Amino acid sequence: MRKDIHPAYQKVLFHDTNADTYFLIGSTIQTKQTKEYQGQVYPYVTLDISSASHPFYTGEQRQASNEGRVASFNKRFGRFNRKA
């Protein structure tokens, strides 16, 4: 393996702001932010969504519309189809 071509592998603190959950994971990501976590300072990255807040992993289901696509179309544009 050649020297000085690989990024530094280090522990990085990821913060899911949606679920307010922290993950300490080894990564090569470079960041300018740092944060103290459990008495040590780590590089810090914020996330909008992770397995702690994603509906697939949490089991929460979104309510889909009960109307079909055709019914929705007819609801919006059905008044234009009236014959005089």
Pairing mode, strands 34-37 and 40-47: antiparallel
The total number of structural domains that make up the chain: 1
d(CA 4, CA 6): 6
d(CA 16, CA 23): 8
Among 9, 39, 16, 13, smallest CA distance to 25 is for: 13
In contact, 68 and 60? CB cutoff 8 Å: no
Q: Is the pLDDT of residue 81 over 80?
A: no
Task: Tell whether 38 is covered by a domain.
Answer: yes
Task: Tell whether 67 is covered by a domain.
Answer: no
In whole numbers, what is the pLDDT of the chain averaged over residues? 84
The token pair that represents 47 in the structure block: 């996330």
* pLDDT (0 to 100) of residue 42: 96
Q: Is the pLDDT of residue 35 over 90?
A: yes
Task: Tell whether 81 is covered by a domain.
Answer: no
- Give the predicted TM-score (pTM) of the model: 0.63
d(CA 65, CA 75): 13
Q: Identify the domain containing residue 47 by its residue range.
A: 1-59
* Tens digit of each residue's pLDDT (9 = 90 or more) over 44-65: 999 988 888 776 767 776 655 5
